Amino acid sequence: TVDSTTPNATVIDKNTTNPTIPDSNNGGGKKILAADGKTTTSTTTAKIGDTVPFQFKFNATSFVTANGVTKQIKSYTIADTPTALTINQDSVAVKVGTQTLVKGTDYTVAFDNTGKMTVVLKWIKDDKSTIYNSPIEVSVTYSAVVTKEAKEGQATNTATLGYNSFDPTNPTDPNHPDNPDTPDTPDTPVDPKNPEDNKTIVTTHRFTLKKTNEAKDTLTGAEFKLYDALSGGAEIKVVKDGDAYRVAEANETGVAIEAGEVVIKGLKHSTTYYLEEMKAPNGYNILTERQSIEVK
């Protein structure tokens, strides 16, 4: 009943479904975006220093019914905990349906000292009415840089989704907007049918460089640099890593690869690299052309 003493009414759609994460065939949950910005996958390959684009997609609702009680959703939270990846803090973008949201107004983004990202989407207005149609697709996109911790083979990301809801008919509900002095209860998690749908893997790879003579004897004293093209191109800088070498991060100074026989780590699979000899072993001439190496 709406009258002069009760000027507001809450209308609850009893047919509204709960928020869900679509299966991986529909790009649901945490995924890696392909170059076209549309195709998604759970696994890809990259070298240290590469930027990898990600997406988290789910179907949001404005109400949720559990145990016979219908509650209104106040906010959604997406959290991503990267391993061997650093999320680019300025890369986060959020779309609800076809609408691109405004950071600081429609959602907030925070990072802790471990690099974990937390995105909170506001789902109600100040008058407690819902902002968006329901159900509706939500996508959060962002990118991350592969770090040196991926040198041994892979970088993983695990993302989670949760929502905060309240009983609109009960102002004493801890989560009710009119009850600000009571701490909110923890978010309710939304899990995919397959837990792997919230996980992505970026693999890195290695090769062994061995300098030999015609008799296949290992020669020492040679020095090489690594490039991405047969001529010209960009140098793939490397640093010493124990007895091996790995691809350098952006803030590291590269060194020459000394061979002998040595392992170079942190490279992208199915990619051709080129070695340029900078110094030959004593008694030998420097190679006049770069030598191709396919990492596979």
* pLDDT 10s digits, 191-232: 998 989 999 999 999 999 999 999 999 999 999 999 999 999
Q: Are residues 233 and 122 in the same domain?
A: no
Give the pLDDT confidence score for residue 5 in this predicted structure: 43
Q: Are residues 162 and 114 in the same domain?
A: yes
pLDDT tens-digit map of 156-187: 989 999 999 999 999 999 999 999 888 889 99
- Joined together, the tokens standing for residue 241 give 């890593």
Q: Is the pTM of this model over 0.85?
A: yes
Which residue pairs, CB below 8 angstroms and at least 24 apart, start in 92-96? 92/117, 92/119, 92/140, 92/141, 92/142, 93/140, 93/141, 93/142, 94/119, 94/121, 94/138, 94/139, 94/140, 94/141, 95/138, 95/139, 95/141, 96/60, 96/121, 96/132, 96/136, 96/137, 96/138
- Structural domain contains residue 59: yes
Range of the domain at 275: 205-295
Q: Are residues 136 and 269 in the same domain?
A: no
Q: Are residues 174 and 280 in the same domain?
A: no
Q: Among 173, 203, 233, which residue terminates a domain?
A: 203
Q: Are residues 73 and 199 in the same domain?
A: yes
Q: Are residues 220 and 198 in the same domain?
A: no
pLDDT tens-digit map of 68-118: 889 999 999 999 999 999 999 999 999 999 999 999 999 999 999 999 999
